Amino acid sequence: MSDKQLSPYLNEFEDIPGTLVFNTFRSRQGFNLNQFCMSLMKQENRDKFKANEAEYLKPWKLTPEQNDAVLKRDYLKLMQNGGNIYFLAKIFSTDGFPYLVAVSTMTGMSQEEYSKMMLGGGRGIKGNRSKSNPSL
Amino acid sequence: MARITAGVTTSHVPAIAATIDLGKQQQPYWAPIFKGFEFSRKWMAEHKPDVAILIYNDHASAFDATIFPTFAIGCADEFESADEGWGRRPVPIVKGNSDFACHIAQSLILNEFDMTVVNRMDVDHGLTVPLNLLFGDLKPEDAWPCEVIPFPINVVQYPPPTGKRCFDLGRALRKAVESYPRDLRVVVFGTGGMSHQLQGTRAGLINREWDTKFLDGLTKDPIGLTKIPHIEYVREAGSEGIELVMWLAMRGALNDDVKEVYRFYHVPCSNTALGHIILENQ
């Protein structure tokens, strides 16, 4: 989306720190990746994927960045390359991890730190509203 | 004629599904959450609806990346629990009401809400978790105590519908229900929310103050809530907090005057601020 002129509607979201809104353009970018994720809703496909991940990924025609990020379970990179969390959930569910664990990996915090933050009431809103006005 | 007697909103956090399926409801982390629904389960058992119209979002389960219907309605006779990557949930099959759902779809479309009619789909945690929270931790051999019409709204791919559009849809839904000739007691569910963000470095965001204002507004000033733009939901309540537009669809289906009979708010439930409210039509 970098070379694309965003609409005023989408531009507003770009001001929110640490947030990637899954819009129609990102949906286009992530189509193959997200469809690969959907294939993991069948046990036979989960078995095949676990047996040989690189081989299983080939027919899905992911970009090299997407392919690498799947193998590394780099969820932030997957989001940046058109992935959506509800599709990516099929990967971490296949791995036997809940949302909390997978989501924490995107934050730069350890899982323990993230869980502790949630138990303490979650990430505060102050200072997290706007890139252009961090004091908000 | 059919009539809407009450509305229920609740978060539909997937970790609740895993907790029920693994029988961990009594663990210290989960016990207060299930305790928060004790009143609600009693209320629902006494309220005895014939049909629940359950507004939720599909989480890339029935609909893959090929199609994102903005407003859809499940018209099938029954709906199986989806395999979201860890097998199908061991819950009763969801029995629909095909005749009523087809009537609602027709009425909504003729009232200018262009529904996608779904004749076959699996239902994911977005639908089965609210059923569990209000009807109990039932096993596959049990039966849900009422019929359920699944009503998925897209909040996954932006732009989702606006809060106002959802509220107006709710109003049209009320007309559709009230024009059905059979005597049915209907409860409308609005699910998802409250503040949460499941992605990016801002994940884990919770905004209790904003959530509380939203809960207050739901009862007393829903028209005020319809003026909230998408940017405010995302900024204040997180990228997945946008699910709250579905609560406005429920609210639009109720009368202007409602009685708030119960409210529950708890942080954290996994990554989420869990919110729940029961409103009875006056």
Q: DSSP letters along A38-72, please? A: HHTTSHHHHHHHHH-HHHHHGGG---HHHHHHHHH
Q: What is the pLDDT of residue B268?
A: 98
Residues belonging to chain A = 136
Kindly list the domain boundaries of chain A, sorted by start residue. Answer: 21-95
Q: Which residues of B72-92 are buried (b: 16+ CB within 10 A; e: fewer)?
A: bbbbbeebebbbbbbeebebb
Q: What is the pLDDT of residue A4?
A: 61
pLDDT at B50 over 80: yes
Nearest residue of A to residue B84, measured between CA atoms: A41
Q: What is the pLDDT of residue B206?
A: 98
Q: What six digits make up the tokens of B221?
A: 């000033």
Can you name the residues that pair with B188 across neighbouring β-strands? B7, B53
Q: Which of residues 211-270 of B touch A (CB under 8 A)?
A: 230-231, 234-236, 238-240, 267-268, 270
Is position B12 annotated as part of the catalytic site? Answer: no
Q: Which residues of A11-20 are buried (b: 16+ CB within 10 A; e: fewer)?
A: ebbeebebbb
| Residue B114 φ then ψ, to 5° | -85, 85
Residues belonging to chain B = 282
Q: Which of residues 92-151 of B touch A (CB under 8 A)?
A: none
Instruction: Give chain B positions within 8 Å (CB) of A49.
Output: none
If we measure between CA atoms, which residue out of B257, B262, B256 comes closest to residue B277?
Answer: B262
If we measure between CA atoms, which residue out of B163, B132, B158, B159 comes closest to residue B251?
Answer: B163
Q: Is the ipTM of this complex over 0.90?
A: yes
What's the CA gap between B163 and B175, in Å, rounded? 19
Mean pLDDT of B184-192: 98
Yes or no, beta carbons of A87 and B158 under 8 Å apart: no
What's the CA gap between B131 and B129, in Å, rounded? 5
Yes or no, beta carbons of B270 and A85 under 8 Å apart: no
If we measure between CA atoms, which residue out of B256, B231, B276 comes closest to residue B174?
Answer: B256
Q: What's the mean per-residue pLDDT of chain B?
A: 98
Yes or no, beta carbons of B208 and A38 under 8 Å apart: no
Q: Residue B268 is nearest to which of A9, A16, A122, comparing CB atoms?
A: A122
Q: What six digits make up the tokens of B244?
A: 């709250």
Cα distances from B282 to residues B69, B198, B219, B253, B261, in angstroms, run 33, 37, 12, 13, 11
Catalytic pick from B12, B103, B196, B276? B196
Instruction: Give chain B positions within 8 Å (CB) of A7.
Output: none
Q: Residue B156 is nearest to which of A16, A22, A121, comparing CB atoms?
A: A22
B254 — pLDDT class (breaks 50, 70, 90): very high
**Could you report the per-residue pLDDT of A10-30, keeping only the tens digit for each?**
999 999 999 999 999 999 999
Distance of alpha carbon B88 from the chain centroid = 20
Yes or no, beta carbons of B234 and A27 under 8 Å apart: no
Residue A91 falls in which region: left (phi positive, over 0), alpha (psi -120 to 50) or beta: alpha
Share of chain B above pLDDT 70, in %: 100
**Could you report the per-residue pLDDT of B85-144, keeping only the tens digit for each?**
999 999 999 999 999 999 999 999 999 999 999 999 999 999 999 999 999 999 999 999
Mean pLDDT of B171-194: 98
Pairing of strands B185-191, B116-118: unpaired
For chain A, residues with pLDDT lower than 70 are 1-4
pLDDT at B193 over 90: yes
Yes or no, beta carbons of A35 and B65 under 8 Å apart: yes
Class of domain A21-95: mainly alpha
Q: Which residues of B49-71 are buried (b: 16+ CB within 10 A; e: fewer)?
A: bbbbbbbbbbbbbbbbbeebbbb
Q: What is the residue type of B103?
A: H
Yes or no, beta carbons of A89 and B84 under 8 Å apart: yes
If we measure between CA atoms, which residue out of B126, B104, B123, B101 comes closest to residue B113?
Answer: B104
Q: What is the pLDDT of residue B28?
A: 98
**Are B135 and B217 in contact, with CB atoms under 8 Å apart?**
no
Mean pLDDT of B216-231: 98
Is position B196 annotated as part of the catalytic site? Answer: yes
Name residues whose C-beta falls within 8 Å of residue A43's C-beta, 6 or more positions apart in sequence: B83, B87
What's the CA gap between B131 and B48, in Å, rounded? 13
**Separation in Å, CA of B132 to nearest CA in chain A:** 19
Counting other chains too, the contacts that A62-68 makes at CB distance below 8 Å and 24 or more residues apart are: A62/A32, A62/A33, A62/A36, A66/A30, A66/A32, A66/A33
What's the CA gap between A52 and B101, in Å, rounded? 44
Q: What is the pLDDT of residue A6?
A: 77
Angle at alpha carbon of residue B265, lines to B16 and B245, rounded to 5°: 80
CA diameter of chain A: 51
Torsion angle, alpha carbons of A56, A58, A64, A70, to 10: -10
Instruction: Give chain B positions within 8 Å (CB) of A121.
Output: 206, 208, 267-268
A84 touches chain B (CB under 8 A): yes
Return the CATH superfamily for domain B3-281: LigB-like (3.40.830.10)
Q: What is the pLDDT of residue A3?
A: 52
